[in-house]
Amino acid sequence: MSATHPLTSYDAVVIGGGPAGLQAALTLGRMHRRVLLLDSGEYRNATAEHMHNVVTNDGRPPAEFRAAARAELAAYATVTVREDTATAVVPDGDGYRVELGADAVPARAVLLATGLRDTLPAVPGLEPLFGTVAAVCPYCHGHELSGKPVAVLGSGPHVTRVAFLLERIASRLTVLADGGDLDVDTATLLADAGVAVRPEPVKELVRSADGATVRFADGPDEEVGGIFVAAEFGQRAPFAEQLGLDLLPSGAVGVDAMARTSRPGVFAAGDMAHTAAMPGPMASVLMAAAAGQLAAVSLDAELLGRDHPAPTPA
């Protein structure tokens, strides 16, 4: 933990130094709000070497993106960036107290941008490949596999959608059922589309010169350029539970159209939160940044309403 900072009251504490938090801090800083951005140094895309499908930043390393954003924030006198990990968010009067170990800072409002934590299928060798050879999102990582054989790991309902997203990109598609049973409709759809299915349990995945070698408990190895998986995820930070925020069936924090959570003065942005109308969180740099901007505008509007309440009708 960093050295103790003097007790300072902030209009907002933004927790999370990824695209959502960085954009939120920028938006609030431009409105001369006193903002503290807390960055723990842990990021969902930490294993990714490059980010894609981000206009003007396609192929840029995430660390460079964050460094550029930090440099822009440095121009705003009311924004403070602190490399530290928040441990608790506690209601305190009309605002909140954000605890950082033995230190704490008060804030009128809090903006959570702490992201999600992925839990990968228990396949030996998958974790070291995740973020490079193995990925979740075809929109972010599909194009780089153009003309290469691609595998989709799993036997759940995601396999057809992911396979069909990649059919214009990959030279060959194979579903690695890993001993799971595909339902009849899924198997029929895949067969009709010419997608091969390997039902054998996967023994291990090994990095190769062109991607990965899939080794099975029985049957020949298969060489692929990339692998797509369906990861389970949960909240990376404990604050949703601490504050009793409403969660959606996806495990994400429920927010309204203006990024407000179920607790007044607490906003959420990025892939950790979404509206009930969305099927799930959107793991995208651009969408996270957009959500951060929306949450910041909403937070600013709430503080404005507190400072300048509308007159009561006579």
Predicted confidence (pLDDT) at residue 207 exceeds the cutoff of 90: yes
How many structural domains is the chain composed of? 2
Q: Which of 173, 196, 228 is where one domain is finished?
A: 228
- Pick the more confident residue, 5 or 42: 42
Predicted confidence (pLDDT) at residue 313 exceeds the cutoff of 80: no
Residues 65 and 131 in one domain: no
pLDDT at 233 (0 to 100): 87
Tens digit of each residue's pLDDT (9 = 90 or more) over 32-71: 999 999 999 988 878 888 999 999 999 999 999 999 999 9
Tens digit of each residue's pLDDT (9 = 90 or more) over 209-226: 999 999 999 999 999 999
Tens digit of each residue's pLDDT (9 = 90 or more) over 177-189: 999 999 999 999 9
- Alpha-carbon span 189 to 185, nearest angstrom: 6
Interacting residues of 212 by C-beta distance below 8 A, sequence separation 6+: 125, 129, 133, 134, 205, 206, 223, 224, 226, 227
Q: Is residue 242 part of a domain?
A: yes
Q: Which of 170, 198, 228 is where one domain is finished?
A: 228
Parent domain of 294: 10-117+233-307
pLDDT at 8 (0 to 100): 65
Residues 259 and 176 in one domain: no
CATH number of the domain within which 195 lies: 3.50.50.60
pLDDT at 46 (0 to 100): 83
- Alpha-carbon span 15 to 210, nearest angstrom: 39
Q: Is residue 314 part of a domain?
A: no
Residues 139 and 217 in one domain: yes
Residues 149 and 110 in one domain: no
Is 309 in a helix, a strand, or coil?
coil
State the helix-helix crossing angle for 62-73 and 19-30, rounded to 10 degrees.
20
Q: Which of 205, 228, 251 is where one domain is finished?
A: 228
Predicted confidence (pLDDT) at residue 312 exceeds the cutoff of 80: no
Q: Is residue 312 part of a domain?
A: no
Predicted confidence (pLDDT) at residue 2 exceeds the cutoff of 60: no
Residues 139 and 187 in one domain: yes
How much of the chain exceeds pLDDT 70, in percent?
Answer: 97
